[in-house]
Amino acid sequence: MFKFNQLLLTIVFCACSMISHAQTKITLNEAIEIALSESNSIKIAEMTIEKTGYAQKGAYSALYPNISASGNYQRTLKRQVMVMEMNGQPMSIEVGTANNVTAGLSAAMPLVNAQLWQSLKLSALDVELAIEQARSSRISMVSQVKQAFYSVLLAKEAYNVYKEVHDNAQKNFEDIEKKYNVGKASEFEYLRAKVNVNNSEPEVYSAENAVVLAIWQLKAIMGVDLATEIDVVGALSDYANEMTVSLASNETVSFENNTNLLQLQLQDEMLSRTIKMTKYQYIPTLSASFSYNYMAMGNTFDMNWNPYSVVALSLNIPIFDGFAKHNNIRQYQKTQDILRLNIEDAERNLNIALENYRDKMNTSVKRYTAAETTLEMAQKSYNISEKMYELGKATLVELNDAQLALTQAQLTMSQAIYQYMTNKAAIDELMGVEYVKENK
């Protein structure tokens, strides 16, 4: 059973090595650029901007004359009868013709309509809100890609650590097996070494599956086919130089580009425009219209066409509507008051989130600094324990303890860098930092 597990593990490693040669390796910036071009959420946001732009153009069409042509044909089946009294006697007269045809052209446009002008400004704010929502999608996408990319690097670091533990356990077992066969090692040592190898194998399998799942998550966020073979370039240690300085709690961070706050502020401005537009409903409106028509009437289709035209001005003065506009204005004002309270809460929550991320980043820096020193000592301790064990001056338990301490130090360093970078990405998202494409 042990030999079979060893053979299976070797086959898995070889297969992974062969697959990796067929994989496309991408950097963090390449992953972000792919996500910004392929993700459905980004495409939906861009389509929303386009859709809102069409809606704005449709609103501006109200300023232009509305021109239409019309035509109408009527066939009289039964003529109307009019009764007239002549010389004291009733007389019935049929009126109308068999065929009645009208055709014409009409145009109308507003001259004075303050409510319409405010609605156009409101449409412009709709476009701004759609653009800001698209920017929010891009910023959120960049943050998600970064965190998923760092997760892949962390999973690969854990895999490498557990693989190294397994290799060391395998090496120790082979040495003990040779000693056991010649009677220089006890059965306890032999069994203990074999158990260590068997215990390390599930950790390797689990770490390998974690790498696969992390890459799938990255591909899903990027918007690429899950069947596409990709791998990431780099290691968490590449970002260690960014952890040299801790964030001070009194360091000022601006939220003026925070996309959630900007969207709430745009909604507040839209409500102000809506209130003003409703108030403008009290202002009279003036519109102009023009029509030019032809009419023909006759019992046959040999008819004469008679033109007529009309020019008109229409003035509409609102007087009383049952307090509908007044109540609508008060409703919008209350909605705006609620929105402004939500803005205050959002600002507080942003500051709380910022302090939380800062604390986590500072803790990560301290953990990394401590783990860096611990790793150096743990590596020396393991090397000494390994030499002493080879000389018979240390037990297998002591060697295993040294291996465990080394493993914990390696994982702690990787986790500290991962936590620091993911929290840094979250702070960038809070601040509304946009991704700038690299010049190549």
Supply the CATH number for residue 148's domain: 1.20.1600.10
Is the model's pLDDT at 170 over the cut of 90? Answer: no
Q: Give the per-residue pLDDT at 246.
A: 53
Neighbours of 4 (CB within 10 A): 8
Domain-located, residue 91: no
Is the model's pLDDT at 289 over the cut of 70? Answer: yes
Supply the range of the domain harboring residue 248. Answer: 22-67+98-431
Could you tell me the maximum CA-CA distance found in the chain, to the nearest angstrom? 150
Neighbours of 230 (CB within 10 A): 17
Residue 248 in contact with residue 309, Cβ under 8 Å? no
Q: Give the per-residue pLDDT at 15.
A: 43
Distance between CA atoms of residues 127 and 135, nearest Å = 12
| Number of domains the chain is built from | 1
pLDDT in tens, 32-87: 999 998 888 888 888 998 988 888 888 888 888 999 999 999 998 888 888 887 77
Average confidence (pLDDT) over 175-183: 82
Distance between CA atoms of residues 206 and 192, nearest Å = 22
**Is-above-0.85 flag for pTM?**
no
Residue 440 or 127, more confident: 127
Q: Give the per-residue pLDDT at 440.
A: 45
Q: Give the per-residue pLDDT at 20.
A: 43
Domain-located, residue 75: no
pLDDT in tens, 360-393: 998 898 888 888 888 888 888 878 877 886 777 7
Domain-located, residue 17: no
Q: How confident is the model at residue 265 (pLDDT cuts 50, 70, 90)?
A: very high
Domain-located, residue 83: no
**Tokens 């002591």, located at residue:** 398
pLDDT in tens, 422-432: 999 999 999 99
Residue 139 in contact with residue 434, Cβ under 8 Å? yes
Average confidence (pLDDT) over 153-157: 93
Q: Between the ranges 6-15, 166-175, 200-209, where is the mean pLDDT highest?
A: 200-209
Q: Give the per-residue pLDDT at 3.
A: 44
Residue type, 170: Q
Q: Provide, rounded to the nearest whole percent, the portion of the chain with pLDDT above 70.
A: 91
Q: Give the per-residue pLDDT at 439.
A: 53
DSSP class of 113? -
Average confidence (pLDDT) over 165-187: 83
Domain-located, residue 266: yes
Domain-located, residue 201: yes
Domain-located, residue 241: yes
Domain-located, residue 242: yes
**Tokens 């791998």, located at residue:** 231
Three-state secondary structure call for residue 303: coil
Q: Provide, rounded to the nearest whole percent, the portion of the chain with pLDDT above 90.
A: 43
Is the model's pLDDT at 139 over the cut of 50? Answer: yes
Distance between CA atoms of residues 199 and 362, nearest Å = 35
Distance between CA atoms of residues 411 and 419, nearest Å = 12
Distance between CA atoms of residues 377 and 232, nearest Å = 30
At a CB cut-off of 8 Å and minimum separation 6, what does 40 contact?
Answer: 223
